[in-house]
Amino acid sequence: MQTKTVLILGANSDVAKAALLQYVAKGYHVIAASRSTDELQRFTADLQHVQVRYFDAADFASHAAFYAQLTEKPHIVLYAAGYLKHNEEALLDWEGSFRMMQVHYAGAVSIINIIAMDKQNTRLERIIGLSSLSGVRGRKSNFIYGSTKSAFTQYLAGLRQYLFSRRITVNVVVAGYIRSKMTAGLNLPESLMLEPSFIASAVVNAGSGFTIVPGFKWKLIYTALKYMPEKLVAKLP
């Protein structure tokens, strides 16, 4: 049986690292791609079947060459690159806002388009994007970050339809609060915090459905946000 290859883009995030460990434990070969290659090399030093590659989501001009130079084309792709600028800061800092747009949306579209349109890679079977509950509805506390995640989710929804005839599954993992580097220092409800390994398990064990919301509480919140009247959404933080 052929060993399957997973390409993780943005592999230095906490969820991506947890997913990497779970994929390796299941016998996959993993290509871990990130700007932080030194940290990834240290993290994967004792692991077998892992390659570390440099990848910058915001360097669009490098994406075609990055993909062309992969010695093994992937069966599974996970896009987990992330960047956070808090809303009040983002409103005053265009570069920070633009960076979120580049990392969460434009960079994702750039590299995933290249991967998806490589019809010579007949073993591509799944593309997974790590999104956020922040992208479900616009809220005054995080609408800039949320808008980038919403755009990414909608892109994946259309891509799923586009790739259906080629039997390539596209999933989006819509995550709530994750205990991670990105959320460190934020005042978030402890009862709603999820561990990176829990989110990673939802990624690694993704099925055929499009939207995956890990955690029972977050499934309820997702449904409430999706259908809540606008006048109630306006009262949320």
Reading the chain (237 residues) residue by residue, the pLDDT tens digits are 569 999 999 999 999 999 999 999 999 999 999 999 999 999 999 999 999 999 999 999 999 999 999 999 999 999 999 999 999 999 999 999 999 999 999 999 999 999 999 999 999 999 999 999 999 998 898 999 999 999 999 999 999 999 999 999 999 999 988 887 766 666 666 778 889 999 999 999 999 999 999 999 999 999 999 998 998 888 877
How many domains does the chain divide into?
A: 1
pTM for this one? 0.94
CATH of residue 116:
3.40.50.720
Residue 185's region, left for phi above 0, alpha for psi from -120 to 50, else beta, is left
Q: How many helices (H) and strands (E) does the chain have?
A: 10, 7
Range of the domain at 97: 5-233
E-only strand ranges, 118-212: 126-132, 169-175, 211-212
